[in-house]
């Protein structure tokens, strides 16, 4: 049986927090930074796309959930813009780490807000997801997004 969406999202958030901490301890264009960044970038990208479709897709259909869902999706766009910028930037200069710190601050604010405010609103408007239906939809979409990301990365390496 799949856990409720709230548990699945929280597990991802905890993984992302851990990766952010590890990334903040790296220096320059090191192999360690490259590996951690790729893992973080791919997982957060897949997570956001799946979350928007499954979790926020449900929440936005409710009158009380719609404003919070729209706010969070807008934050996803802002975070994605920084992710893309960092992904396209040389990791060597100190400016990369400075921009990364901005990303970390924005992302941690976003996931804290989800866990502390949005989850409570969602419990009231879309329910507990006891049978894991929303979580299953999220995980299916996240896996598809990861596959697409892997295909893009492999295509870039072959080109």
Average pLDDT of the chain, as a whole number: 93
Per-residue confidence band for 159, with pLDDT thresholds at 50, 70 and 90: very low
- pLDDT tens string 140-157: 999 999 998 877 766 655
Would you say residue 84 has pLDDT above 90?
Answer: yes
Would you say residue 3 has pLDDT above 70?
Answer: yes
Percent of the residues in the chain that have a pLDDT greater than 70, as a whole number: 96
Query: What is the rounded distance in angstroms from the CA atom of residue 29 to the CA atom of residue 66?
Result: 41
Query: What is the rounded distance in angstroms from the CA atom of residue 8 to the CA atom of residue 118?
Result: 15
Q: Which of 8, 32, 36, 2 is nearest to 130 (CA)?
A: 2
Would you say residue 54 has pLDDT above 60?
Answer: yes
């Amino acid at each position: 049986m799949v856990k409720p969406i709230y548990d699945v999202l929280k597990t991802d958030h905890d993984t992302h927090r851990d990766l952010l901490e590890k990334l903040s301890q790296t220096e320059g264009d090191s192999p360690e930074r490259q590996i951690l960044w790729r893992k973080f970038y791919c997982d957060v990208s897949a997570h956001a796309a799946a979350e928007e479709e499954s979790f926020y897709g449900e929440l936005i259909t409710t009158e009380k959930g719609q404003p919070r869902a729209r706010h969070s999706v807008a934050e996803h766009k802002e975070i994605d813009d920084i992710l893309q910028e960092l992904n396209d930037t040389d990791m060597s200069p100190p400016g990369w780490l400075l921009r990364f710190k901005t990303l970390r601050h924005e992302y941690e604010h976003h996931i804290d807000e989800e866990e502390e405010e949005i989850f409570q609103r969602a419990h009231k408007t879309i329910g507990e997801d006891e049978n894991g239906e929303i979580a299953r939809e999220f995980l299916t979409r996240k896996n598809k997004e990861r596959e697409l990301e892997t295909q893009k990365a492999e295509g870039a390496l072959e080109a």
